[in-house]
Structure 1
Amino acid sequence: MKVRLLALAHFKEGHSRTQIAKYLKVSRTSVNKWVQVFLEEGLEGLQEKPRTGRPAYLNAEQRKQLSAFIKKEAESPSGGRLVGSDIHDYIVKNFDKYYHPNSIYYLLDHMGFSWITSRSKHPKQSQQIQDDFKKIQNRNDP
């Protein structure tokens, strides 16, 4: 949007469209289009138009359900480690949609998840037992 506004500012100052294209390092065709749209529609015409694209494979409700599943499993007391194949199996089982395994990570990125794994915690881990173990004297202690 900034480049388009700069092009219009130069146009209002009386510069030629070729000069504007050289200043801004864009094609003259782009400058011509921007000026034409501005003259016909005003500043509103220069705004980015919504783009259509391929519809999402999972709808918003399914993504919300998948997000809840991932959060629940990640906070599970039994370790909470998920891998892409676990998420893929969940999607196939619950939504009957088939993603390529590599696309699972792309989907997670779009949903705002990062693939950072923490050190797993054993379910039977006890801080008290660890502290007691540290108190045991060995031959190397002074």
Structure 2
Amino acid sequence: MMNCLTSMNFHQLARREKNGQNRIRLLALAHVQDGKNRDDIAASLKVSRSSINNWVRLYRQNGIEGVLNKPRSGRPLMLTNEQQKMLIQYIDDQKAQKIWIKGYEVQNYIRASFNVEFELSYVYRLLKKLNVTLRC
């Protein structure tokens, strides 16, 4: 029953894995591969026994790709490409005039120009995604 788990070195994969959730999954598979009790594995990794069973099942069905989380694109930007260009142009115009604007001013511009309400923290994330700085 464990024979399909023997061909992979899960310990080595877990050491190289940067994603914490994936690392736990790989460690669980490594412990199963070592013949440890699934209840003990669940207790030591602080996950449910059913999660371990699911990961083993997913590995058997789909290989390593079935177990690991896939990268997610995240929520799409709520501004159209045209609005993003207008925002960048607004910031560039302010910088060209040597005006140092702040995040809340960008937030107000977005609200007034596009009728979209963003939290200030999202405004900063948006600017980072657009690779725009506020300083001159």
Global fold match (TM > 0.5): yes
Change (3 A) 1:61 1:3: farther
Partner of 1:91: 110
Partner of 1:123: none
CA deviation vs aligned residue, 1:46-87 (integer Å, no higher than 9, x gap): 1214558654311345334423432442x334x412245542
TM normalised by structure 2 equals: 0.61
CA distance in 2, matches of 1:105, 1:115: 14
Change (3 A) 1:40 1:61: farther
3-state SS of paired residue (1:111): helix
CA deviation vs aligned residue, 1:3-22 (integer Å, no higher than 9, x gap): 11111111111112211111
Q: Who wins on radius of gyration, i.e. which is larger?
A: 1
Moved more, 28-37 or 61-70: 61-70
Partner of 1:8: 29
Q: CA shift at 1:116, angstroms? A: 7.8
Tell whether 2:107 aligns with 1:107: no
The one of 17, 24, 28 equivalent to 2:45 is: 24
Change (3 A) 1:3 1:105: closer
CA deviation vs aligned residue, 1:69-122 (integer Å, no higher than 9, x gap): 32442x334x4122455424533555x33215xx1442222331799879xxxx
CA distance in 2, matches of 1:32, 1:24: 13
- Contact kept, 8 Å, 1:108 with 1:114, in 2: the verdict is no
CA distance in 1, matches of 2:63, 2:82: 39
Change (3 A) 1:116 1:52: closer
RMSD of the TM alignment (CA)?
A: 3.2
Partner of 2:58: 37
What residue ranges of structure 2 are gaps of 5+ in the alignment?
1-21
TM normalised by structure 1 equals: 0.59
